[in-house]
Amino acid sequence: MADENSTPRPGQLANQTARLFIRAIDQALKPLGIRSGQIPVLLALRNGKELNQRALIEIVGIEQPGMVTLLSRMERDNLIRRTPDAKDKRSVRISLTDEGEEKSARVPEFLEEVNNKALTGFTTLERSILIALLDRIILNLENKE
């Protein structure tokens, strides 16, 4: 029986995989001037959608302070704009700028490039099995059935 400390655990492997994916995605997106952490916001606001900060927090799954920082950087980089909400004076609507819309449209091609690199040498069946197993882990950890 192998020593517990010498055998990688699924959580360790998932963590290392996630870090490597993020690094590869950030490297791939570098020419666009965006980072992996901005992807969920860019995709949520694509095609002219306007959302408030609360909705983006729910979609992205980060805490409010993190979202404030993320949106401030995205606004600084001319990816989003904030406009007053006509229905709620305490709230603002967030949407993509033209530049943000253009860059968000290109994100899927960069993500596909990284996914294809990561899955080089995998058969179609192996890809399907991996995705199914990862989906099951996510469901288990989210306590969903």
pLDDT tens, residue by residue, 52-77: 999 999 999 899 999 999 999 999 99
Look at residue 31 and tell me whether its pLDDT is greater than 60: yes
- Provide, rounded to the nearest whole percent, the portion of the chain with pLDDT above 90: 85
Query: Residue 2's pLDDT is what?
Result: 47
* pTM attached to this predicted model: 0.82
- Contact 62/51 with Cβ under 8 angstroms? no
Query: Residue 142's pLDDT is what?
Result: 87
Query: Rounded to the nearest 10 degrees, how much is the dihedral formed by the CA atoms of 142, 44, 62, 86?
Result: -130
Report residue 85's pLDDT band, with 50, 70 and 90 as the boundaries. confident
Residue of 127, 105, 123, 103 whose CA lies nearest to 115? 127
Query: Residue 144's pLDDT is what?
Result: 57
Query: Residue 71's pLDDT is what?
Result: 96
| Separation of CA 118 from chain center | 17
Which value, in Å, is the radius of gyration of the alpha carbons in the chain?
18
**Cα–Cα distance, 25 to 76 (Å, whole number):** 21
- Return the half-sphere exposure (C-beta side, CA atoms, 13 A cut-off) of residue 34: 30
Largest Cα separation within the chain, whole Å, is 65
